[in-house]
Amino acid sequence: MPTDLFIGGAYRSAAHNARFPVIEPATERELAQVAIAAEQDVADAVEAARVAADSGPWPAMNAEARARILNRMADGIERRAKELGTLEARDVGKPVSECVNHDIARAAKNIRFFAAAAEAWTQEASFSDAKFLGADLKLMSVTARSPLGVGAIIIPWNSPLMLATWNLGPCLATGNTCVLKPSELAPLTSLALGEIAAEAGLPPGVLNVITGLGATGAALVNHPDVDAIAFTGGVGTGRSVMAAASGSLKRVTLELGGKSPNLVFSDADLKRSAAGVARSIFRSQGQSCVAGSRLLIDRRIADEFLALLLEQVSKIRIGDPLDAATEYGPLISASHRERVHAFVTEAVAAGATLLCGGSVPSKPERGYYYLPTILDNIDEKSRAVCEEIFGPVLTVQRFDDEEDAIAKANATRFGLSAYIWTTRIERALRVANRLKAGMVWVNSFFLRDLRTPFGGARQSGLGRQGGRYSLEFWTEPRMICMTYGEDSHG
């Protein structure tokens, strides 16, 4: 398990040899001691990426040659899927089955997808007429695209390898180089990526991985030699990243938090919707940016629906993340569990009804576990309804009709995703078009074609990722206009 910085194609310790402990959420024990990149190490990583971007072979390769190496990286991830999935389960506390079958599989797919997308990407030419120096000319204007240079990729702790590859796939496939900074809470699989990249033949300096605390990320985004920043994390950090980017006008994309509504209409398939709502909030213990944390139900079916939902919740298998049968593990840290619990106690003290959860389970005895929690009769202005908890807490509100449902769904400063549960196609489309969210799912959760735009409206982010949206972000378009129609040689 690599625990050192990966810079210029090799692992090395940090300048001052400083380290921080990574704690395993399920055991509360130390899993590793990982290097803290000081400002000098950040500068070294950016320098390695700069040299690879300015004079290395990577940007000059064609997309097909880059794709061959990136596909070998994807092969490496797949070959080590069990090992990486187990490491991520220990590092994050997510069930190993979810890590191996979803997150690690998606990490390989992300790289393959963007390698192929960059290879297949074509630019169109526009044809028009113009007059110049008294002559009638025909114009052919084309768009050429070049890599931006050095990318800084900063990711949170909840799905490290999936989010790292979702960003570095398009960054590298379009010929950029990068410095990846994972969260201090779950850095281990990102560090392993260095080894996988080297084995795949990625030229030194194209991918650098630095670990550390928030200050390491801040030093990275402030570095003048970074050309673009892809940041995934909380709204507050996103704001400071954007402010740092303004110093040298770096291109920036922000994938931030959410407070996504689950709208259940009276015509919905209630049993299926209850299973879907439970999955949307309690998957990954609610530590997902797209968690459907606000339940909005048609008043007329509320009691029936809540009974079905509670039945679903009672079936969730809580346990050791390394057990293949486990569906629900611990939260990431003791302090995060305290934060989650504070939202719940505050809501209950203000009169909310606890339908389930609200406490630590008696088993497992160790680990930062917190029961799936549902709060009913809650004040719509309470913090639990308005702020992102990023934990297993679902708030319940009732609506009278479609108009009321839309108004309540949109009563938030976030706008990442929304879920509509209905059997009426007209209603699904009518409502979907009025929700202020970057992504709307109808009768499902989180399924998606990677070509479509992923990202949030309002405070949930800036820009979109996926398919050509990512390829466009990571490239500089250059217009080249050719004239013809009159032979310049007479």
Residue from 100, 154, 207, 306 touching ligand NDP (CB under 6 A): that is 154
The stretch among 23-31, 142-150, 180-188, 470-478 that binds ligand NDP (CB under 6 A) is 180-188
Count, residues near ligand NDP per rule CB under 6 A: 31
| 255 annotated active-site | yes
The stretch among 7-15, 67-75, 212-220, 309-317 that binds ligand NDP (CB under 6 A) is 212-220
Judged by CB under 6 A, the chain residues 360 through 389 that form the site for ligand NDP are 388
Q: How far is the CB of 296 from ligand NDP (least distance, A)?
A: 20
Distance CA 18, CA 12 (A): 12
Q: How far is the CB of 384 from ligand NDP (least distance, A)?
A: 15
Q: Residues 95, 327: contact at Cβ < 8 Å?
A: yes
Q: How far is the CB of 245 from ligand NDP (least distance, A)?
A: 10
Judged by CB under 6 A, the chain residues 436 through 475 that form the site for ligand NDP are 456, 461
Residue among 178, 289, 380, 486 flagged as catalytic = 289
Query: What radius of gyration, in Å, describes the C-alpha atoms of the chain?
Result: 24
Distance CA 31, CA 41 (A): 23
Backbone phi and psi for residue 268, each to the nearest 5 degrees, phi listed first: -70, 155
Residues 6+ apart with CB under 8 A from 441: 417, 418, 419, 420, 447
Nearest to 31 by CA among 361, 303, 307, 333: 333
**Does residue 256 touch ligand NDP according to CB under 6 A?**
yes
Nearest residue (CB) to ligand NDP, 227 versus 298: 227
Q: Residues 14, 44: contact at Cβ < 8 Å?
A: no
**Does residue 390 touch ligand NDP according to CB under 6 A?**
yes
**CA 275, 279, 282 angle in degrees (round to 5)?**
130
Across 134-152, b (16+ Cβ under 10 Å) vs e yields eeebebeeeeebebbbbbb
**Does residue 181 touch ligand NDP according to CB under 6 A?**
yes
**Does residue 93 touch ligand NDP according to CB under 6 A?**
no
Residue from 95, 149, 169, 257 touching ligand NDP (CB under 6 A): that is 257
Residue from 95, 149, 156, 367 touching ligand NDP (CB under 6 A): that is 156
The stretch among 24-32, 171-179, 197-205, 214-222 that binds ligand NDP (CB under 6 A) is 214-222
User: Amino acid identity, residue 25?
Assistant: P
- What DSSP assignment string belongs to 154-181? E--SSSHHHHHHHHHHHHHHTT-EEEEE
Residue among 255, 380, 472, 486 flagged as catalytic = 255
SS3 assignment, position 304? helix
**Does residue 258 touch ligand NDP according to CB under 6 A?**
yes
Secondary structure E strands in 40-134:
125-132
**Does residue 392 touch ligand NDP according to CB under 6 A?**
no
Q: How far is the CB of 31 from ligand NDP (least distance, A)?
A: 16
| 64 annotated active-site | no
What are the residues facing 394 on neighbouring strands?
374
**Does residue 103 touch ligand NDP according to CB under 6 A?**
no
What are the residues facing 374 on neighbouring strands?
356, 394
Residue corresponding to tokens 């405070």: 459
Binding track over 263-292 against ligand NDP, x by CB under 6 A: --------------------------x---
Q: How far is the CB of 111 from ligand NDP (least distance, A)?
A: 17
Task: Tell me the residue number closest to ligand NDP, measured at CB.
Answer: 217
Tokens for 265, please give them.
């209409």
Distance CA 385, CA 373 (A): 13
**Does residue 184 touch ligand NDP according to CB under 6 A?**
yes
Nearest residue (CB) to ligand NDP, 283 versus 427: 283
Burial group, residue 484, by CB count within 10 angstroms (0-12, 13-18, 19+): exposed
**Does residue 76 touch ligand NDP according to CB under 6 A?**
no
Q: How far is the CB of 60 from ligand NDP (least distance, A)?
A: 31
Residues in the chain: 490
Bond before 364 cis per omega within 30 degrees: yes
Distance CA 289, CA 429 (A): 24
Q: How far is the CB of 168 from ligand NDP (least distance, A)?
A: 14
Judged by CB under 6 A, the chain residues 220 through 239 that form the site for ligand NDP are 221, 232-234, 237
**Does residue 240 touch ligand NDP according to CB under 6 A?**
yes
Residues 6+ apart with CB under 8 A from 89: 95, 96, 99, 321, 322, 329
Residue from 70, 81, 185, 228 touching ligand NDP (CB under 6 A): that is 185
Residue from 8, 9, 214, 364 touching ligand NDP (CB under 6 A): that is 214
Residues of this chain that interact with ligand NDP (CB under 6 A) are 154-158, 181-185, 213-214, 217-218, 221, 232-234, 237, 240-241, 255-258, 289, 388, 390, 416, 456, 461
Known catalytic residues are: 255, 289
